[in-house]
């Protein structure tokens, strides 16, 4: 009798969950992004969110919650009601946070549930101000051996921070880190002369590169960035340097039902096929993705594990 009752409860719960998934979303959905408006993650998340709103008949509106390398936005989602109406969109910077911060206020692997990746970026740019006398990577390395060189990133443990530290170790130089709240602040500091160099994703920098306001010394991808084929590859000038890229991913609170996650995954993958959305992704150098929810979760776990080694290699101590 007890077994029968338990089975009936389980069946009722499953049917209720399935019904909720069919009516989801029944109100506007908040999408938290821990990076500044106009940044690479913001452009990706906002573009796909707009298409999700068109497809699902409810507004998916973006909230930019800056600070602490995206963890403020992540915490807001990790502790939200798991009904699919509060989501997170993050860059790959999220994978290093468990190894950087001693007290996040949430567990990255259990309190956040991967929904779908939206694209992978092959590489990032290494930039100096266009007014800088430094014209090549070799000149930059020589300068860093003689003088103090400052670089900026969107926060300790951010993927751009790790990329710069790994570069410095491979080049045999020391660089002084200045953390900021977002990539736009780092760019402002570069243009204002407060720092000497930065690593940055193409969406946040390609306009300024084309305008001639910043000078790319290298691109870290396996092949040249399509819009700047003249920029040399880091791997060709610094043997042993592995490609540093990025990706974007949607997350839900950890206990969000399978049915809602599966539906969102399908809708995101469908959104990436819309020509306007695909065009924006490809323009910014991202290769649209087609992983299902299970594959996205497996990919994320692997990336988090790999980030532990990257943080150790960069010599960053948890704080």
* Domain CATH for 44: 3.40.190.150
Per residue in 122-147, pLDDT tens?
Answer: 899 999 999 999 999 999 999 999 99
How many residues appear in the chain?
319
Distance CA(138)–CA(90), nearest Å, equals 34
CB 91 within 8 A of CB 34: no
Distance CA(151)–CA(35), nearest Å, equals 19
Structure tokens at 167: 């570069």
Per residue in 48-60, pLDDT tens?
Answer: 999 999 999 999 9
Last residue of a domain, one of 215, 237, 259: 237
pLDDT at 194: 97
Is position 132 within any domain?
Answer: yes
Contacts of 317 (CB under 8 A, 6+ apart): none
Per residue in 219-237, pLDDT tens?
Answer: 999 999 989 999 999 999 9
Distance CA(279)–CA(47), nearest Å, equals 11
Is position 2 within any domain?
Answer: no
The DSSP symbol for 204 reads G
Q: Residue 92 belongs to what domain range?
A: 23-122+245-313
Tell me the average pLDDT across 158-178: 91
User: In the predicted model, is pLDDT for residue 100 greater than 80?
Assistant: yes
Is position 10 within any domain?
Answer: no
Residue 130 and residue 71 share a domain: no
Last residue of a domain, one of 237, 262, 280: 237
Is position 8 within any domain?
Answer: no
Residue 72 and residue 205 share a domain: no
Residue 84 and residue 43 share a domain: yes
pLDDT at 289: 81
What pTM value is reported for the model? 0.82
Residue 227 and residue 262 share a domain: no
DSSP-assigned states of every residue in 233-277: BHHHHSTTPPP--EEEEEEEETT--HHHHHHHHHHHHHHTTSHHH
Give the residue, 93 or 253, on which the prediction is more confident: 253
Residue 199 and residue 51 share a domain: no
pLDDT at 6: 54
Query: pLDDT grade, residue 22 (50/70/90)?
Result: confident
Q: b or e along 243-253 (b: 16 or more beta carbons within 10 Å of the residue's beta carbon)?
A: bbbbbbbbbbb
Residue 115 and residue 48 share a domain: yes
Is position 16 within any domain?
Answer: no
Tell me the average pLDDT across 25-48: 92
The CATH number of the domain holding residue 146 is 3.40.190.10
Burial group, residue 167, by CB count within 10 angstroms (0-12, 13-18, 19+): buried
User: In the predicted model, is pLDDT for residue 306 greater than 80?
Assistant: yes
User: In the predicted model, is pLDDT for residue 17 greater than 80?
Assistant: no
Residue 192 and residue 99 share a domain: no
DSSP-assigned states of every residue in 127-191: EEETTSS--SHHHHHHHHHHS--EEEESSTT-HHHHHHHHHHHHHT---EEEE-SSHHHHHHHHH
- Work out how many domains the chain is built from and give that number: 2
User: In the predicted model, is pLDDT for residue 2 greater than 60?
Assistant: no
pLDDT at 4: 62
Query: pLDDT grade, residue 79 (50/70/90)?
Result: very high
**Region of residue 158 (phi > 0: left; psi between -120 and 50: alpha; otherwise: beta):** beta
Residue 110 and residue 35 share a domain: yes
Residue 165 and residue 108 share a domain: no
């Amino acid at each position: 009798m007890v077994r029968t009752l338990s089975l009936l409860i389980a069946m009722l719960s499953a049917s209720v969950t399935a019904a909720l998934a069919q009516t989801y979303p029944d109100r506007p959905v908040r999408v938290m992004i821990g990076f500044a408006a106009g940044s690479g993650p913001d452009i990706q998340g906002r573009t796909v969110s707009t298409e999700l709103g068109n497809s699902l008949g409810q507004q998916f509106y973006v909230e930019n919650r800056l600070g602490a390398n995206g963890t403020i936005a992540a915490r807001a989602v990790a502790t939200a009601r798991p009904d699919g109406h509060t989501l997170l969109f993050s860059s790959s910077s999220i994978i290093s946070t468990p190894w950087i911060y001693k007290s996040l206020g949430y567990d990255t692997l259990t309190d956040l549930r991967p929904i779908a990746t939206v694209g992978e970026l092959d590489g990032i740019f290494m930039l100096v101000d266009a007014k800088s006398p430094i014209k090549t990577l070799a000149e930059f390395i020589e300068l860093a051996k003689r003088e103090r060189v400052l670089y900026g990133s969107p926060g300790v443990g951010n993927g751009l921070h790790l990329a710069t530290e790994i570069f410095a170790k491979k080049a045999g130089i020391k660089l002084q880190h200045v953390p900021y709240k977002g990539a736009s602040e780092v760019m402002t500091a570069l243009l204002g002369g407060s720092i000497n160099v930065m690593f940055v994703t193409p969406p946040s920098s390609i306009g300024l590169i084309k305008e001639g306001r910043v000078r790319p010394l290298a691109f870290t991808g396996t092949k040249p960035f399509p819009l700047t084929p003249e920029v040399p590859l880091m791997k060709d000038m610094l043997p042993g340097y592995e490609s540093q890229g990025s990706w974007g991913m949607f997350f839900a609170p950890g206990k969000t039902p399978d049915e809602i996650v599966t539906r969102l995954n399908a809708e995101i993958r469908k959104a990436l096929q819309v020509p306007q959305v695909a065009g924006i992704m490809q323009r910014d150098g991202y290769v649209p993705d087609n992983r299902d929810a299970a594959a996205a979760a497996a990919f994320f776990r692997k990336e988090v594990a790999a980030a532990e080694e990257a943080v150790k290699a960069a010599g960053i101590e948890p704080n």
